[in-house]
Every structure is written in structure tokens, then in C-alpha cells.
Structure 1
Amino acid sequence: METLVLDGNPIDYDVTGTTGPTLVLVSGWCQDHRLFDHVLPLLAENHRVIRADWRGHGAVRSVEADFGPAEQAADVIKLMDALGVDRFVPVSTSHGGWANMEITDRLSPERVPGSVVIDWIMVEAWPEFVQDLRDIQDPELWLAGRQRLFDFWLGGTAHPAVARHLDDEMASFDFDMWARSCRVIENAYATWGSPLRRMAALKVQRPIAHLFSQPSLPDYEAVQREFASANPWFRPHRIPGQTHFPTLESPAVLAGLVEKFAASVGR
């Protein structure tokens, strides 16, 4: 990974591939670029792929000040400016979607012709999830709350890449970053109600694909199909799988869908 210091914040990134439309891969909170290790070589066959770690998520885990989606979006846009990237498709996972939508909202369709969000809870946050978010903000309860999320995300499987990502990679982030992430996520749901409402509020609409495996809630897919029927720019697609991490569980399927979407918004 290389590093650019943007307004005092070290941002780690790498660039793979030299031709084709540019994809910018960003993770959820308390994750880093390794989440994309399995899809990167597949996407780089026909794309220039940039992986970017959020501030405080790369080699340097400390941060000078609090931050959220607005700051995360600003970092990505400054990185793209520094690298001379004039047109790209942002691809985010989980609650990195809040920053993805901020990036998309700030830039024109000429620069961001469409966006991909992966396994982002599209409906209003249910009470048990909100309670987990609040427990993880409590230094006495955070490990138990985080473990409940880990168990849910693993989906009852023993998938080795997913288990390693949870137990080695995500677990390496400290209480401060986990508490920050859960506070930001809770506030985002309180502000917007749901990601569907956040997407509907974009100043200029453009295609958005949601590629997901979880959660297996009643009518979850139907809600998205109904929203898509009223908002044709929204394209949901369920990927068969048990876990919260299709980039690790179903990399070939996910890469194919991302490539198909990028081609559809390209020129």
C-alpha cells in the first residue's frame, strides 16, 4: 500500500490494473483493503482498481479528530483528485455506503456515473441491531456486542476467509474505532431512516446497484424490488450466500456483477 497525507490524514491506497473504467473500492467501518483481496485480481483484468483505506483504518490507526461519512467522502475525493482520476465508480461495503452516497451526492454524474453498495442494510434499523450498536459504544459491553454482530455476519457457517476477516482483521480495531463506527451508524439511521431514503435524497439520481447476501429478513428483498419499481435507477441483486461478506464468500459472482454494472454506466 502507498500513502498520501491529505490535510494531515494518512490515507493508504493501492492501484491495480492500467486500462478500463476506474473502480474505487472502500470497505465498511473497522475493515481495510484486505476485504477485497479475492475480488481484486478478477476486477483488475478489465479495470483500473483503486483500493482506499479510510482514515484511521490503514497502517496508522490513530486519528487527530472525530470523523464520519462527510470526512470519509472528502478524503476519497481528495485522493481521486491527487491521482488525477476524473471518472470512477465507487464500490462500498456495509456501512461504508453512507460515505459512498456522500461521494456520489457531491460529484456530478459525469464524474460518478453510478455507484455500487454491497450488503448494506437497506431498511430501518431493527431494535436488536440498534441495541448492539449502543452496547459497542459502552466500554463494559462492547466485546459482547461486537461478538453478536460477528456471529450474525458469519451466518452460521465456518467459512475460513470470513472467519479470518472477523477474528484477525476486524478484531484488530480498538474500542475507540468500534465505538465511533457504531455511533456514526446509529446517527445515520436516525437522520435518514434507511439507506433507501438516503439514496432517494440524492440531488441528482443515477444508477445504484445493491449486491447483497444478508440479512435473510422477511420481505427484505421484496421491499427493495418495490423501491426499484418506483425508482428504476436502483438495482438490487441477491447473491446466494450465508455471510455478510460476498467479496470473500462469492468473489467471482460479485466481480461479474460489478463489471456488468460498470459497463452499463460506462461510455
Structure 2
Amino acid sequence: MPFAERDAVRIYWRLEGEADKPALVLLNSIGTDMALWDPAVPHLLPAFRLLRIDTRGHGASDAPAGDYSLALLAEDVVAVMDAAGIDQAAIAGVSLGGMIAMELALACPERVAALVLICTSATMDAGAWQDRIDKVRAGGTAAIADLAMQRFLSPSFAAAQPAVAESVRRGLVSMPDNGYAGAGAAIRDMQLASRLPELRVPTLVAVGDRDVSTPFAAHGEYLIAAIPGAQMVRLDCGHLAPLEAPVSLAAALRGFLHPNASVGEAAATLFEAGLRNRRRVLGDAWVDRSLANRTPFNAEFQAMITRIAWQEIWSRPGLDDRTRRLLVLAITASLGRWEEFALHVRAGLTRGGFSRDDLKEVLMQTAIYAGVPAANTAFAEAGKIIAEIDR
């Protein structure tokens, strides 16, 4: 595990991507570690060399006692960049990470090529943060977990993705109390607002439309007004944008940092992301056969389906895979699309996507709303596949 050490404090970092790509440093919010960026990484790696850092007090980095400052945390980032051999990079930070990024750009502008400030702010309620710090130092991070989770994720995302929400909560509760309290002090004491006009690097401000921690009003709008030449993008997400809107966020980063990147490169990124979803749902064997059967005549069509159906639709957070599979069965049976129906019946039953009872109930519902003849054929086609599976 690579560490950079400053004053006997170790800071964990991870470098990924090709050496000839431009460097992009990714910083996490308070209460999370570099895994916050996991959903966005596949969409960023084709364009960037990614340097992720566990902020002091978080993840695998050390968590010394006492108050931290933004200046201290920015110096940690410089130390990691030195250890990774990176002289200059674009810096993208979520919440606390965005605050560190601004401090770094003000203190060491020669190290910063551009800023992407995600769901962050230049000024917060110091009293509220002192109260949160006191609670953590008295009762641990569990004492503020409910409050933090309400401010981390939008209610609709948390309800649709309970496993992700639980993972975020588990990471928060298990982090060192000293780390959270120390980083909270950096937020409490930050002195950024009056210095923002001094920023002279290209800056993108990404605002979450469902972010209640640092909403556009009084936070995002202030950054836009105060930072010379700042641009803005609005995302349909809560506070932790890399979790809720990884594709949209990655597209915004790429569009801002690489405005002249080819359409073909972007399409290739979406294709690879869609291919991962396709393999997850249908299995490697079927996908490999499909890819092997591509021809010059149908290859562009297959690529389009992979980008749009499997990446854009199957990666949306609103429904889980099981619900999407069952909807596909009902729709394909209703429309008589028996090839697609058979494909998803076989994949769902053999890959644990749904049970035979689930399938039966969907076809019973189809009989009522799409007609008995459609359901009759669907039962017959599904029965053939079940018999093959049993054999």
C-alpha cells in the first residue's frame, strides 16, 4: 500500500491509469474514503490518470488527535502528489474535498491545472460544526450517523439503493472519531470565502439539485459569483454525487477538463460501462457469443444498444435489477417479442435474477393486462426453458 508521510502521519493514496494521460486528483468528503469515487472511476479512467487520496483521518490514512486545518490537509495532498511523481493536476473534490481543493489552489496555484468543486461550499455554520464535533468526541461517529446520512444521500436514492446507503453508514460509523472530529474542525475554521476572487484556475462548480448539505442557494451560487470565470453544472443527486450520479458527474468532468475530446472516445467509455452491465445481467457466455457474432453490418447497432440500453437505462438508480428483469418479461411477452423474452427468462432463472414463482406471477399479471393469448404463449415458452434448465 503506498503511503506519503508527513510529520510521522501516513496518508494513503492510489494511482491508476496510463502514465501519458493528464493527472486528476480525486478528494473525498468528510466521513467517506476514496471508495466514494468507485462508481465514477470506470468512466474517468479512459481519459485521466487518477490519483485518489484518503484524507487524513479517513480510510487507510492515519487519524491523529486534535484539530486539522484546510492548510494542513492541502499540504497532505501536495505530499501525495510529490510521492506519486505528479507536478500538476486537475483537482476534483466532494464537500470537504472541494474545500481542500480551493485551499490548495490558493496556496500552490502552480500545482493546480483546474478545479472541479462538487457539492461543496466556501463557508459553513461554525456553531453547527462545533456541535457536531462535540458530539463525536463525546459519543463517537455513531452519535451523528443519523444526521450525516440524512445529509449525505437523497431519500429516493437511499430507498432505491439500501445496500449502498448501508455501506456509506457503515464506513462512517467505523471511521476513527479523531479523524471525523479533526476534519470537522477544518470545515468549522475555514477561511475561504473572502479569498475566492484570488483563484485564477479554470473552475467548474457541480451542484446537486437534491443536495441539502451544500445546496445551490447560498453555497453553489456563492462559488459561481465569487470565483472568476467559474462554470456550473447541475446534477440530479444528493450530496455524494459520485455515488448518486457517477455517469453524469464523469461526463461533466470530462467535458470541462477535456472539451475537445473526441465523440468516439466518449462513446467507447459508455460502451465499456454498458458492457459491464450486460455481462452482469446476461452472463459472460451469452455476451461473448453476441460479440463474436457481430458483423460490419450490425456492429454499430450492437454498440448503440450497449451504450443506451445497457449503460444509460440499466445503470439508473431508480430500480433494482430484479424489478427491471421482471418488467422486461412483462413487456416482451405483451408485445410478442419472444426472442428477447426467452433470453431474459433463461438469464434470470440461471443467474438468480428472479425465482420461478416471480416469473409465474408476472405472467399471471400479463394475462390480465395484455391478454390471455400472450400469457398462454409466454407460459409455453418459459416452460420450454425451465425444462431445459431441469435437464
TM interval, shorter chain, is 0.7 to 0.9
Tell whether the 8 Å contact from 1:23 to 1:89 is kept in structure 2 after alignment.
yes
Q: Which amino acid aligns with 2:89?
A: F
Quote how far apart the aligned CAs of 1:85 are: 1.0
Distance 1:17 1:72, change over 3 A: same
TM score, norm. by length of structure 1: 0.81
Task: State the identity %.
Answer: 26
Q: Where do 1:1-267 residues align within 5 Å?
A: 1-18=1-18, 19-63=20-64, 66-109=67-110, 111-121=111-121, 124-125=124-125, 129-130=128-129, 133=132, 135-137=134-136, 139-140=138-139, 143-156=142-155, 157-158=158-159, 159-160=161-162, 162-188=164-190, 192=191, 196-200=193-197, 202=198, 204-213=199-208, 214-216=210-212, 220-221=216-217, 224-225=220-221, 228=224, 231-241=227-237, 243-264=238-259
**What secondary structure sits across from 2:116 in the alignment?**
strand
**What secondary structure sits across from 1:25 in the alignment?**
strand
Quote how far apart the aligned CAs of 1:228 are: 3.3
- Give CA deviations for 1:62-105 in whole Å, capped at 9, x if unaligned: 42664321111111112212322122011111122222112111
Distance 1:232 1:264, change over 3 A: farther
Quote how far apart the aligned CAs of 1:196 are: 4.7
Tell whether the 8 Å contact from 1:116 to 1:211 is kept in structure 2 after alignment.
yes
Tell whether the 8 Å contact from 1:113 to 1:265 is kept in structure 2 after alignment.
no
Q: Distance in 2 between matches of 1:80 and 1:90?
A: 11
Q: Distance in 1 between matches of 2:93 and 2:184?
A: 17
Q: Distance in 2 between matches of 1:5 and 1:226?
A: 35
* Unaligned runs of at least 5 residues, structure 2: 262-391
Distance 1:130 1:255, change over 3 A: same
Please tell me whether Structure 1 or Structure 2 has the larger radius of gyration of its CA atoms.
2
Higher helix share: 2
**What secondary structure sits across from 1:117 in the alignment?**
strand
* Unaligned runs of at least 5 residues, structure 1: none
Select the structure with the greater relative contact order (CA < 8 A; seq sep ≥ 6): 1
Quote how far apart the aligned CAs of 1:226 are: 7.2
Count of aligned residue pairs for this structure pair: 256
Q: Distance in 2 between matches of 1:223 and 1:154?
A: 18
Quote how far apart the aligned CAs of 1:218 are: 12
Q: Distance in 1 between matches of 2:55 and 2:46?
A: 25
Q: Distance in 2 between matches of 1:105 and 1:218?
A: 21
CA RMSD of aligned residues (A): 3.1
TM score, norm. by length of structure 2: 0.57
